[in-house]
Structure 1
Amino acid sequence: MKYSHDENTPWLIYKARHLLKKRIQNKLKDYDISSEQWSVLNTVYMKKGCNQITLAEILLKDGATITRILNILENKNLVIREKSNHDKREYLISLTDYGLDLYNKTLPVVLQNTKETDSIFNDNELKQLHYLLNKLVLNLE
Structure 2
Amino acid sequence: MENKLLKSIGFNVNLTANLLNSSINQILHKYSIAIEQRVLLEIIKYEDQVNQTRIAQILRKDKTTISRTLKTLENKGYISKYSIDKRTNVINLTPLGEEILEQTEKEVKIFRDKISSKLSNQEIEQLFTTLDKVVYALSE
TM-score (norm 2): 0.91
- Which position in structure 1 is the counterpart of 2:42? 42
Q: Letter of the aligned partner of 1:15 in structure 2? A: L
Matched letter for residue 133 of structure 1: L
Alignment coverage as a number of residue pairs: 139
Task: State the Cα deviation string for residues 26-58 of structure 1 (Å, max 9, x = none).
Answer: 111111101110011010001143111111111
- The residue type paired with residue 102 of structure 1 is I
In the TM superposition, 1:89-100 aligns within 5 A as 89-100=87-98
TM value normalised by structure 1: 0.90
Distance in 2 of aligned mates of 1:135 and 1:70 = 30
- Percent of residue pairs identical: 30
The SS at the match of 1:50 is coil
Does residue 66 (structure 1) correspond to residue 66 (structure 2)? The answer is yes
CA separation in 2, counterparts of 1:42 and 1:106? 11
The offset of 1:90, in angstroms, is 1.2
State the distance in 1 between where 2:18 and 2:55 align.
Answer: 22
Query: Are residues 1:8 and 2:8 paired?
Result: yes
Q: List gaps (5 residues or longer) in structure 2.
A: none
Counterpart secondary structure, 1:61: coil
Superposed, 1:1-141 pairs within 5 Å as 2-84=2-84, 87-141=85-139
